[in-house]
Chain A
Amino acid sequence: MRLLIIHSLAVLQLVFTSLGVESFAHQAELKPVERREAQIPINDFVLLDQSSQQFKFGQVAGRVVVVVFAYTTCPDVCPLLTAALRQVQSGLSQEERNKVFLLTITTDPEIDAPKILTSYAKRYGADLTNWSFLTGNPGELQKVWKNFGVGVKRKARGLVDHTPLTALVDRQGKMRIAYVGPAPDAKAVLKDVRALLAQ
């Protein structure tokens, strides 16, 4: 009887493996990154960081700021954007880290509470001494998205279409370079950061 059961289980295990694979309609494409130069003043704003502390954009005035727009449950471009920003942070010398600040600004405040941003930062190994993850109320975030030219459209809970932007803001608070695309090359970003530091 025991053998019969084992045999039956083994055969029935196979029943569940016979269906085919279909294609999906929601496949993201890995588009090339476009680099654009700009001269857009960034207005001061107040958001919340991953520790629930107020973060004023003015507090990083005088530094070059690398800004990425992403959200934690993003299943396509955001992991690439955040991984690239992590590479940028790793490429900075200790001296440069005092002059450069990194910001990840959420495009999904519905989900991205400070506690969730903390877990996200930890998973990517972010050094929070010069990198903050920001959220806030939707009204304030919309002003920030608009200032940077980021379009945001909610599709479902935890699923948001947004412009895949990595922006460089100079020491005078102007957005000078915009990389639009999912995987900016960290070396190219570092080169532009150093050029802005030299100005």
Chain B
Amino acid sequence: MQLIFGLLALFAFTGCGRNERMDLVYGERCANCHGVGGRGDGTLAAALPSPPPDFRETVQRKSNSQIRRIIAEGKGTMPAFDPALRPAEINDMLQMVRYLSREGRQLAWWEKYDTLIAAHCSIPWEAALGLDDPPEKKP
């Protein structure tokens, strides 16, 4: 029972692989500066007064609420997205940042569990556990 609970907690708090919603919001709002892989090498990065960070070096040290606050309120020249995005979209952005921060590790063996992971990731864990607003339906 403890093992099952531990695994559920890991799934809920670790986050999932990427999905189309995450790709869309990240591609539209983040990639120009942060780069498609989150390495701080977007097409506009070199022209910014201070370069965006490589997510692999900075994100693991931050909590979800810290990352969510930066996305919502902005930081330096980074826009504050709270006025423009729904909580569910900010959550997608957060999950994408977490996902990209783990990029670059060689774990091909685990890819055979993609189906299991995809099934798990279709469950809105944060909402189910009462940790976040439920995803909103688009009007």
8 Å CB interface, A1-59 against B: 1, 4-5, 8-9, 12-19, 21-30
Q: Tell me if A119 and B80 are in contact (CB < 8 A).
A: yes
Tell whether, in the assembled complex, residue B44 and residue A15 are in contact, meaning their CB atoms are under 8 Å apart: no
Question: Is B129's beta carbon under 8 Å from chain A?
Answer: no
**Cβ-Cβ contact count across A and B, 8 Å cutoff:** 135
Cross-chain contact B107 with A17 (CB below 8 angstroms): yes
Interface size class of B (residues with CB under 8 A): 35 or more
Q: Cβ of B3 and Cβ of A18 under 8 Å apart?
A: no
Cβ contacts under 8 Å, A120 to chain B: 74, 80
Contact A29 B43, CB 8 Å, known A15-B110, A16-B117, A75-B33: yes
Q: How far is the CA of A142 from the CA of B28 in the complex (A)?
A: 25
On whether the beta carbons of B44 and A5 are closer than 8 Å, the reply is no
Question: In the bound complex, what is the Cα–Cα distance between A13 and B78 (angstroms)?
Answer: 30
Residue from A21, A72, A79 within 8 A of B83 (CB atoms): A72
Inter-chain CA distance A22–B104, complex, in Å, is 13
Is A146 an interface residue, CB under 8 A from the partner?
no
8 Å CB contact of A24 from B27, B48, B103, B105: B27
Complex: chain B residue closest to A157, CB-CB: B84
Cross-chain contact B14 with A8 (CB below 8 angstroms):
no
Contact of A79 with B48 in the complex, beta carbons under 8 Å: yes
Q: Could you tell me if A16 and B27 are in contact, using CB atoms closer than 8 angstroms?
A: no
Q: Is residue A76 within 8 Å, beta carbon to beta carbon, of the partner chain?
A: yes
Residues of B near A4 (CB, < 8 A) are: 3
Collect the chain A residues with CB atoms within 8 Å of residue B124's CB.
none
Smallest CB separation, B55 vs chain A (Å): 12
With contact pairs A1-B3, A80-B44 given, residues A23 and B79 touching in the complex (Cβ less than 8 Å): no
Q: Does A183 contact B (CB under 8 A)?
A: yes
In the complex, chain A residues whose CB is within 8 Å of the CB of B105: 14, 17-18
Contact A9 B10 (CB under 8 A): yes
A126 shortest CB reach to chain B, Å: 12
A residues near B30, Cβ cutoff 8 Å = 75
Q: Once the chains are docked, how many angstroms separate the CA of A32 from the CA of B21?
A: 32
Kindly state the separation between the CA atoms of A123 and B84 in the bound complex, as whole angstroms.
17
Interface string of B19-52 (1 = CB under 8 A from A): 0000100111111110011000011101111000
A-B pairs with the 3 shortest C-beta distances? A158-B84, A24-B27, A17-B102
A-B contact pairs, 14 of them (CB 8 A): A1-B2, A16-B17, A17-B104, A18-B105, A18-B111, A21-B37, A22-B36, A23-B36, A72-B83, A73-B80, A75-B32, A80-B48, A83-B77, A123-B75
